[in-house]
């Protein structure tokens, strides 16, 4: 209930700021989906959350939950903590549970905010979850949030959704670090292709 109310209010704000959307119809209407997005601003998960029609459960850095009020707010908004820099088994289990229930998981393959497109800094979380769950991975690009709020947002704000990444060729392969790197790079290439268009 709170999620829908907050989402409606924030969506109105973004519409007033001129938020545009492309390719929204490419998001599967049901079933488990991993939203893999670029990450240049703290506004990115909010913008993706209001642009896409399905509720999204975002992974958020563990440190944000140290503040009790912020932690409760993020939990109410379907976010859950993940410890970066290591394999957080609890977060992985929670993410897989979300996907098993046919919900949408939001993740940033870059692992942290990046001012420029990364080359070798892609994290393997999205690839691991996709290969273990069989969920579709949908690439998303946030454009315009690198500008400072609010005056910088007189420039276009855009959420672009790409076609689901075809990972069928990997489904019978053993999950290794090399495979995770390969799949992670493919996912990031799809995200970057949306930024280049």
The whole-number average pLDDT for the span 168-178 is 90
Max Cα-Cα span within the chain = 50
CATH number, domain of 163, equals 3.40.1130.10
Return d(Cα 76, Cα 172) in angstroms, integer. Answer: 37
Q: Considering its fold, how many domains does the chain have in total?
A: 1
Residue 124, SS3 per DSSP:
coil
φ, ψ of residue 71 in degrees (nearest 5): -60, -45
For β-strands 33-37 and 104-107, DSSP reports them as parallel
The confidence score (pLDDT) of residue 107 equals: 95
Q: Which long-range contacts (CB under 8 A, 24 or more apart) does 168-176 make?
A: 170/131, 171/131, 171/134, 175/128, 175/131, 175/132
The confidence score (pLDDT) of residue 193 equals: 93
Structural domain of 128 = 2-196
Return d(Cα 103, Cα 81) in angstroms, integer. Answer: 17
The closest alpha carbon to 55, from 82, 29, 36, 73, belongs to: 29
Residue whose tokens read 């942290």: 112
pTM recorded for the entire structure: 0.90
Q: Which two tokens stand for residue 91?
A: 């977060």
Tens-place pLDDT, residues 96-134:
999 999 999 999 987 555 544 545 467 889 999 999 999
Q: Which two tokens stand for residue 86?
A: 């290591």
The closest alpha carbon to 96, from 133, 137, 57, belongs to: 133
């Amino acid at each position: 209930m709170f999620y829908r109310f907050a989402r409606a209010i924030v969506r109105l704000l973004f519409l007033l700021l001129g938020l545009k959307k492309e390719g929204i119809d490419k998001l599967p209407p049901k079933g488990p989906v991993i939203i893999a997005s670029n990450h240049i601003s703290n506004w990115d998960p909010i913008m993706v959350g209001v642009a896409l029609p399905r509720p999204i459960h975002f992974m958020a850095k563990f440190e944000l939950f140290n503040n009790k009020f912020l932690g409760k707010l993020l939990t109410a908004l379907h976010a859950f903590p993940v410890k970066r820099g290591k394999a957080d088994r609890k977060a992985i289990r929670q993410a897989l549970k979300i996907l098993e229930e046919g919900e949408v998981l939001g993740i940033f393959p870059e692992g942290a905010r990046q001012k420029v497109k990364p080359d070798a800094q892609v994290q393997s979380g999205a690839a691991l979850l996709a290969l273990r769950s069989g969920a579709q991975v949908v690439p998303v690009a946030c454009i315009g949030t690198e500008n400072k709020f609010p005056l910088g947002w007189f420039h276009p704000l855009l959420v672009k959704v790409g076609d689901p990444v075809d990972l069928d060729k990997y489904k019978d392969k053993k999950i290794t670090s090399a495979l995770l790197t390969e799949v992670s790079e493919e996912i990031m290439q799809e995200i970057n292709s949306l930024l280049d268009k």
